[in-house]
Amino acid sequence: MNYSKFIYWASTIIMCGVFAFSASMYFTKTDMVRGFFDVLGYPSYLVIPLAVLKVLGIIAVLTKKSKLLTEWAYAGFLIDAVLAFVAHQVAQDGGAMFSIIAILATIVSRYLYGLIYLK
């Protein structure tokens, strides 16, 4: 395995891990997450749809069955992570670090995906 593929898979696993953890929290501790959404200023009815979309995005990125779905998954992950970063910064609750990790991992994974798989 060459260097680019190693970095691609490492960043993709980190990205998927962050979003899988997030989705699992949304499913298992829905009321707590709804409370966080309310505090951060986001509508709480988005919790379960976001969790479902995160799981579907992980599947799209890992399977690479459709270039279009994979691109949309990366876009959704980046938008979600940026919005989470902004919300945590505004709330000053110390939760921004996971968002920064998700943003960086998503950018690196998408960039290398383009180099490796979209030649």
Residues 6+ apart with CB under 8 A from 111: none
Phi and psi, residue 29, nearest 5°: -130, 55
Q: How confident is the model at residue 91 (pLDDT cuts 50, 70, 90)?
A: confident
- Model pLDDT for residues 2-45, shown as the tens digit of each residue: 899 999 999 999 999 999 999 999 999 999 999 989 988 889 99
Q: In angstroms, rounded to a whole number, what is the distance separating the alpha carbons of residues 62 and 93?
A: 32
The sign of the CA dihedral 42, 15, 31, 72 is positive
The pLDDT of residue 87 is 87
Are residues 7 and 112 in contact, defined by beta-carbon separation less than 8 angstroms? yes
What residue type is assigned to position 57 of the chain?
G
Higher pLDDT, 87 or 11: 11
The pLDDT of residue 1 is 59
* Other beta carbons within 10 Å of 72: 15
pLDDT exceeds 90 at position 72: yes
pTM of the model: 0.91
The pLDDT of residue 88 is 86
